[in-house]
Amino acid sequence: MDSHKHHWHILGAGAIGTLLAFKLSQQQLAFTLIGRHADNESRHFTDLNGVPHHLLGVARESIDYLIICTKSTQALSAFSAIESRLHSQSVVICLFNGLGAQQMIQQRAGCPVLFATTTEGVTQVAPASYRYKGAGQTLVDAAILQHMQPAELPKLLRTVDDIEQRLMHKLIINSLINPLTALLDCENGQLLSSKPAMVAMRLLAEEIALWLATYRHRMPVEDVLKLAVDVIHLTANNSSSMRQDIKTHRVSEIDFINGYWLAHNPQNINLEHNRCVVEKLKDLQNTFGQVQT
């Protein structure tokens, strides 16, 4: 595709989708923000300097470059709704938590599907309004350079050759932090001062280390734990997305986080503690009655 056709569609107009729209707008790149209620949503965004921005893209039917940043629970259905607008040379980037939904989209799509991950921090302050909370990096599979020149890649994306390892490490981190903060209703940093939380985290880490040794490559339990503890120190005052989902009575991404280990366990190794947190989160969701997606 020629560079003059580079128009970015962002599927998911939440925190990360709004941040992507902001960063594309700062580079004067054309974008369309696809939300629940409209094909070209507008959003308010406050940058790290406290400067407010009104974001409104340009409506465009045909999709050349698509970044999916919905919840993992919504990714496949959201993709299905716009799939007919893609073509064989379109490029899809999956940028959401957990593992599993990316592969479902990859199997379904008739065009290249690449994976990405981000450490950016954004928080919602009001309906359709978000604030940049902490600068991070958004990493994408270097295979994207097969579909565009390096100079054409938006500055918000950094290419890496080991995206699958990055995604696996993020899955480990999310598996050790998110369900515990949701069940204990606490900020990330409070886990470190809670003996029961740290005991539970080690039990989860031991099972994940066993899963890795069985299906991937050996990673010592201490290294598994360190991945999460390092992130907790960096995000001590943050509230995990899963905790926010539970507090707002939304379906969590537990099936694509701790549930991933359970769903990809053909040898039926013992993952009882991961199974337990999945069940507890689902029991908690069931108490809400009609949960939002």
Instruction: Report the pLDDT value the prediction gives residue 2, as an integer from 0 to 100.
Output: 44
Task: Decide: helix, strand or coil at residue 113.
Answer: strand
Q: What confidence tier does 3 reach under pLDDT thresholds 50, 70, 90?
A: very low
What is the DSSP code (8-state) at residue 5?
A: G
Q: What confidence tier does 293 reach under pLDDT thresholds 50, 70, 90?
A: low
Instruction: Report the pLDDT value the prediction gives residue 86, as an integer from 0 to 100.
Output: 97
What percent of the chain is modeled with pLDDT above 70? 97
Instruction: Report the pLDDT value the prediction gives residue 5, as an integer from 0 to 100.
Output: 52
Label residue 28 exposed, middle or buried (CB < 10 Å: 0-12, 13-18, 19+). exposed
Q: How far apart are CA 209 and CA 24, in angstroms?
A: 39
Q: How far apart are CA 146 and CA 4, in angstroms?
A: 17
Answer whether residue 140 shows pLDDT above 60. Answer: yes
pTM of the entire structure? 0.91
CB 179 within 8 A of CB 258: yes
Nearest alpha-carbon partner for 43 in 125, 128, 133: 128
Furthest-apart CA atoms within the chain: distance in Å: 57
